[in-house]
Amino acid sequence: MKSIKFLAIAFLSLTFAAFTTETVKEVNVADSVVQWTGYKVTGQHEGTIMLKQGALIYNNSELVGGKFTMDMTTINTTDLQGDYKNKLDGHLKADDFFGVDKHKTATLVFTSVKPNGTNHTIEGDLTIKGITNKIKFNMTVSEKSAVANLKIDRTKFDIKYGSASFFDGLKDRAIYDEFDLKVNLSF
């Protein structure tokens, strides 16, 4: 009797598995853009980071996961030129910001996806400088693209330089703890 139950369960499991298909949709990294905006008391700076790789995972036609790797060595300031740009790019790559010599990549792995039509509420593990924290954001997905806006608290990743939360007397030299990532993915 036990063997009949086992066979029935195995058959049902295999039958169910045959009707579900997991599909991985690779991101076209050359056509995708990750824009960052960092804020300070006296203004803001903007730039880009290149994706190294990325994919959305579907079960049948439902988004169920994703994994992305950003190449932190490509962090680039786009609102400055010349020496000011080179100085800020170098500082962002230094240990008191992203420490790209030791931490060449940052990753995002989806842990939960809640769909609402083409909009999805995503929870995931973001790793920057080897430190992983949970984040939550919304993503709009279509057949050939996806768009997301993320707000990241840099201090949770041990990036405290210029933070008024950790240093007194910064006045107008303070840099806000949160920065934005605007992500436009192409498939």
CB-based contact 36:45 (threshold 8 Å): no
- What is the arithmetic mean of pLDDT over 52-74? 96
Q: In this model, does residue 161 exceed pLDDT 90?
A: no
Catalogue all structural domains in the chain, each as residue range(s) with its CATH number. 21-186 (2.40.128.110)
Q: In this model, does residue 42 exceed pLDDT 50?
A: yes
* pLDDT at 115 (0 to 100): 93
Q: Could you report the per-residue pLDDT of 118-159, keeping only the tens digit for each?
A: 899 999 999 999 999 999 999 999 989 999 999 999 999 999
- What is the arithmetic mean of pLDDT over 78-90? 97
Among 68, 77, 124, 131, residue whose Cα is nearest residue 102: 131
* pLDDT at 4 (0 to 100): 56
* pLDDT at 102 (0 to 100): 98
In this predicted model, which residue has the larger pLDDT, 33 or 171? 33
* pLDDT at 7 (0 to 100): 46
